[in-house]
Structure 1
């Protein structure tokens, strides 16, 4: 609905027979009138998703017949009134997504009939004091500033199916009593400061489908009992300090779709058992100490969309049929010790969006293993041993914003067609064996902020069209065989912070227009050229410049 304005127009005292009032999902605003407490027979009050900005009226605590109360998704301020503790028949209380402050009233623990409590997304502080609500089924305190330990008595809430304590400031260890909450289906404790070990018997929670313990300070091994949680769909343990091998039992959790173990200190191999996880869609283990080859059984996971294994110690060849199901979007295997060619089957993986294979020992002709990727926006193949030429067809990666293939053995010329990659923001072809001229078509790449072509065998002049690259911040053309004059048009690249033209065959004078580049702060290097004439006084305008090299 589109109802707006305040509630003052209603004479609540005249509506004494009202049992249910639902004004949710409107645009009502202002204060909730204190006179609303005149609705003494009201059983259900729903003001969800409006624009109320007042405190919660203290008088609401006198509405003793209330069973359902929702003030969620407003802009309510102030503290939760202790008077709400008088609503002893309340079954559902929803105050989430407001601007409430202060502590959770201790008296809420007297609401023994309460089954649903959601006070997430506020600014509440202090400790959790709800241990006596033994009929609770749904408890959400997420996105607040609650602190202190999770009370041991939480284990008494054995009817709870959904527990959301994420994004608070909770400390100490996860209480072992939590394993008594055997009806739990969702357990969200991520984004706190919880420390210590994951409870050894957490596998008692066999009904849990979502287990999120990430972004804490947890240490020690992953308990093998997690293997008993056979209904798990989502397992997030990333951003902790977990160590040891990944338990073999985890790889038998055949219902898991999302497995995130990244940013820990885990070691050992990924076993062939991973082939059992045929429903897996996302696997993230980057920033660990995992080793060994990737088992070929990973090819069985045909629905895999995210494979993120960066910054480990993996070795061997890349799996030949990694995109067998045609679903892979993120293929992130950088900073390992993989060798051999990029699988040719990747050529038909048209779903790819982000590919990072940099800092490995990959070999082979790169022009033969990559295909047409209409959704690709990020490709990094740098720091490998790849060879071959840059195919003009790659210009059909129209959504590409970053392309790096530096520090390889790429030969041939830079295709003129690359000027069609108009969404590019970073292009790094440096440290290869590229020949020929820099295409004038690069003048169309007006979103570029980093263009690195250094350490190749490029010849000819710098295209004057570079003057149209007004977003350029980093330009490196060093260590080539470029000649002619440095174009005045570079003075139009007003955002340049680093300009490297050293170790070429440039002649003539330093353009006066370089003095326009007042944002130059890192480097201006034209050393080892054949420049003549005087040093332009305009260079004195480069007041932020830290490194100036005009030698040789």
Structure 2
């Protein structure tokens, strides 16, 4: 009997072992099928998933030790762009799925319903579309469903209400429609519910009031209407309550919140239609950190007893009707002094009156945003403002402030944005403004400032916008002050009393888009140096004393949209070159002394776009101008024939002479080049000389801990050199790589003589031998703390210097502009134009202020004659230049490198920034390319192809308020379409059909303006 039992046990044991083995084999097969779809067939992805390891040891796979079955699948932050295979449903022991930010596309397979043991499903930050499969209802053990940041559609499933184990449900930032199903009220265990930024509407269902364990409720960014149900005030455990950007109404919300939610940490209801007063009971919310009620209809005084909110960080109440224009309106500021963690205080666009006192300087040292514009505040700006040393934004515009700008403002050295316009401020602009070297925007217009512009303003080299129009400023516009601000985009000084010449140094402002100098007393001529301002869209000089001829170079400023030279003393003829300005929509030359024939064509054919009044000696032009016909010159035809012969003779002689000079120049240049040694490069370009030993010490012996990246020709290390106060990047060439030495010379020469805000600055170079006597070559650059654009776009966690920065749409537009500015400089602003030949994300470095710098000039080529960009000015190349995916098609056919080739690569770069997809993605095969993929997307489909991170509304990304959620979504969608069109236009197959870099800058500026507004 015992023997029989032992025999039966043995059989059972063997049967169980066979069953376990078969089950394990099922999991292995399922994983391999999953890998193929997940990685889009990329054999290099998930290298550990092979036969040499047991599948339980594969990356991201966790198994049950006893049964050897897969219980968890965790794969994050990869760029695969694959799909979820139905084989996922065969992993029946799965309890947790974390497949986040791996660019999944396609639909959630219905086979997921086979996973009855599944407890956690996290698929956030992908590109999944379609509806949530109903089969998921079978996953009755689920307690965590996170599907945020995808493109899922349909209605919120009512069957969610039967998943009684759920504690977390997050489906925010998708495209769900309909209303909130009342069945969600059955989820008695639910702790967190996030439905933000979908297209949900109707009333908020009262059934949510039954969720007694709920501590997080986020319903913002939808189209909910009506009142907040009273049943929600039963949710006493709520810590985060957000209903921003909807169409909700009611006048008791603020009154009910303190009593209903005693543990509240974040309360945001901005962008609705709520009304009512500010109750003193808000002070009872001792855990409150974020308070946002902006853009509603709240009124009355702001409670003066907020000092008990010791954890308060954000107090955001703009665009309401608080205050009555009286003295006590600002009393609440006294109580906020006790809120020592306060970071952002925004009270603009209300009716707050009263006088600012030095108490404002006692606010939290953590305060970085203080905005109180568009109120009725009077008095002087207190000296105490200088105590807020961490302020980055100070907004006091459109009030009744008077007096001078206090000297203490010079202590605010972190200031980026200063807006004091439309007040009654007077006195001089203080010299200490030059201490604020981080300034990007300064608005001082419509005040009573007098005196000169302080020369110290030249220290503010990061300035982009400076407006001081409609004041009493006088003297000369300083010649060098604005010349240092090479990133300046808008300069407005009109309606003052400036005298002297237009500064020639304004020609340094190659990014300048708007220049307003009208209604001053400027004299002299328009300086020739302005011809370098190729980004100008608006040039207004009317009502001055400027004389001379209208310069013909204005016709080369192809971005011009508005040109106003009226009410001056211009004489001579109208230059025919103005016909070339295709975007010019307003040309005013009235009230001058112009004579001769009015050109035809371009803007001159649009009678509503031009004004030529009071120029009595003009003739010709289109008939609608009603000018007299120009007199016919005698012997004109004979002169023309004679002139033609002369031109032919001159051109023939000139061609021979130029060829001879070119031959001699090339001979001498080659002879000189042979003598040039790389060891003299540092001296040749004026760099500080560094030795191998210094670089060895600076990088801890080129240790792996200092390694920040590798490239085709070498490795880059972070280091610290005694010659420089800031960290540096040391690019060490791998001289064993073919072409490395040539790359070293090319990069040193290319960067040695060019300087630009958006080019990577070369600090020095070293050509020596290492401690073993081997040749050593290295280039030292500024270190970029945010790494490369490729890292930021694709978040490659294996990069040692990867950051948590997630680029929003505005930041990507700014980076695109930065690279465009760099290309415009390389192609147009140098005696010898430079063709980069390798525009791609890994060659674009981003600093700590998210400013992009184009680097890696190892393939760069010089094109002689920067003034000419025709094919005759192209550089020859015997090999294909660039990186696969970004190389223009004509290079593959043997064409010479050209500026148009760079434009192709730039276009692919823009499309990669838009979609988050590399041009070499495995999805692009059989005739489908990144260009075609984007070109096929219509206005309605744009959200299906873009990086899901770009669908987060800009206002939320940057903490700004918009009045209409629908308008905001429409603006973002419109900007995404415009961005796509630029990338498509730049990456056309035929070089001559590609968009020019100047038009790119113009279009990107337009997108930036829409996003900003």
Normalising by structure 2, we get a TM-score of 0.49
Give the whole-Å Cα distance in 1 for the aligned partners of 2:294 and 2:207: 27
Change (3 A) 1:231 1:424: same
Which of 393, 411, 424 is the equivalent residue of 1:300? 411
Structure 1 residue 309 displacement after superposition: 0.5
Which residue does the alignment assign to 2:349?
A: 239
- Aligned match of 2:185: 85
Give the equivalent residue in structure 1 for 2:642. none
**Aligned pair partner of 1:50 in 144, 147, 150:** 150
The aligned counterpart of 2:118 is 18
Give the C-alpha shift of residue 2 in structure 1: 4.1
Check the 8 A contact 2:125/2:150 in 1, yes or no.
yes
Instruction: Report how many aligned residue pairs link the two structures.
Output: 517
Range that drifts further, 280-289 or 470-479 = 470-479
> 1:142 corresponds to which residue?
244
| Residues 146-184 of structure 1, C-alpha deviations (whole Å, 9 max, x = no match) | 111215220021211111211122122233322211211
Give the helix-richer structure, 1 or 2: 2
2-side partners of 1:482 and 1:112: how far apart? 81
5 Å matches for 1:248-267?
Answer: 248-253=358-363, 254-267=365-378
Displacement of 1:339 in angstroms is 0.6
Say if 2:187 is the partner of 1:66.
no
Is the alpha carbon distance of 1:436 and 1:255 closer, same or farther for their aligned partners in structure 2, counting shifts above 3 Å? same
Deviation per residue, 1:65-113 (Å, 9 max, x gap): 1111112222111111111111111111111121111222212122121
Distance 2:606 2:533 in 1: 21
Alignment of 1:9 onto 2:99? no
Q: Who is 1:279 aligned against?
A: 390
Give the superposition deviation at 1:505. Answer: 4.0
8 Å CA contact 1:348, 1:371 repeated in 2: no
In the alignment, the residues of structure 2 paired with residue 492 and residue 434 of structure 1 have an alpha-carbon distance, to the nearest angstrom, of 23
**Among 472, 478, 482, the residue aligned to 1:361:** 472
Query: What aligned pairs does 1:117-266 form with structure 2 within 5 A after superposition?
Result: 117-129=217-229, 130-149=232-251, 150-156=253-259, 157-220=261-324, 221-222=329-330, 223=332, 224-253=334-363, 254-266=365-377
Q: Give distance in 2, aligned partners of 1:273 and 1:495.
A: 56
- Supply the RMSD in Å over aligned alpha carbons: 2.0
Structure 1's 514 and 472: CA in aligned 2 closer, same or farther, altered over 3 A?
Answer: farther
Partner of 2:535: 423
Q: How big is each residue's C-alpha offset from its partner over 1:203-248, in whole Å with a ceiling of 9 and x where there is no partner?
A: 3322111111011222231223223223211111111121222354
SS of the aligned residue for 1:326 comes to: coil
- Distance in 1 (CA, whole Å) between partners of 2:414 and 2:108 is 52
Is the Cα–Cα contact under 8 Å of residues 120 and 143 in structure 1 kept in the other structure?
A: yes
CA contact (8 A) 1:380 1:403 kept: yes
Partner residue of 1:372 out of 484, 501, 507: 484
Structure 2 partner of 1:539: none
User: Residue in 1 aligned with 2:516?
Assistant: 404
CA contact 2:435–2:459 (8 Å) conserved in 1:
no
- In 1, the alpha carbon distance for the partners of 2:609 and 2:335 equals 54
- Quote the offset at 1:120 in angstroms: 1.4
> Which deviations, in whole Å up to 9, do the C-alpha atoms of 1:239-276 show, x marking residues without a partner?
11212223542232232111111111111110111111
SS of alignment partner, residue 245 of structure 1 = coil
Answer whether contact 1:475 1:496 (CA < 8 A) is retained: no
1:172 is paired with a residue whose SS is strand
Q: 1:384 aligns with which of 496, 502, 523?
A: 496
Q: Residues 331 and 354 of structure 1 are in contact (CA less than 8 Å); yes or no, is this contact kept in structure 2?
A: yes
Q: For 1:323, what is the secondary structure of its paired residue?
A: helix
Q: Partner of 1:228: helix, strand, or coil?
A: coil
1:347, 1:18 → 2: CA distance?
A: 63
Q: Which has the higher strand share?
A: 1
Query: Partners in 1 of 2:359 and 2:595 — Cα distance?
Result: 63
Cα offset, 1:124, TM superposition: 1.2
Separation in 2, partners of 1:176, 1:514: 72
- The more displaced of 389-398 and 238-247 is 238-247
Structure 1 range deviating more: 44-53 or 323-332: 44-53
Query: In structure 2, which of residues 424, 449, 461 is the aligned counterpart of residue 313 of structure 1?
Result: 424
Q: Is the 8 A contact 1:217 1:240 kept in 2?
A: yes
Does the Cα contact within 8 Å between 1:372 and 1:394 map onto a contact in 2? Answer: no
Return the offset for 1:514: 5.2
Distance 1:314 1:393 in 2: 29
Greater radius of gyration (CA): 2
Q: 1:240 to 1:494 in 2, by over 3 A?
A: farther
Contact 2:356 2:382 in 1 (8 A): no
Shift of 1:474: 1.8
Aligned residues of 2:359 and 2:384 also touching (Cα < 8 A): no
Alignment partners' CA distance in 1, 2:265 and 2:391: 24
Structure 1 residues 427 and 81, CA gap change in structure 2 (3 angstroms): same
Deviation at 1:503, TM superposition (A): 2.3
2:961: which partner in 1? none
- Counting only pairs closer than 5 Å after superposition, residues 346-495 of structure 1 correspond to structure 2 as 346-368=457-479, 369-489=481-601, 492-494=603-605
Aligned mates of 2:436, 2:165 — CA distance in 1: 57
Deviation at 1:481, TM superposition (A): 2.1
Deviation at 1:363, TM superposition (A): 1.3
Give the one of 399, 423, 428 matched to 1:288. 399
Distance change (3 Å), C-alpha of 1:211 and 1:514: farther
Report the equivalent of 2:853.
Answer: none
CA distance in 2, matches of 1:424, 1:51: 40
Distance 2:108 2:408 in 1: 63
Given that 1:2 and 1:26 are in contact with CA atoms closer than 8 Å, whether structure 2 keeps it comes out as yes
Q: Secondary structure at the match of 1:274?
A: helix
1:8 Cα shift? Answer: 5.3
Give the corresponding residue for 1:550: none
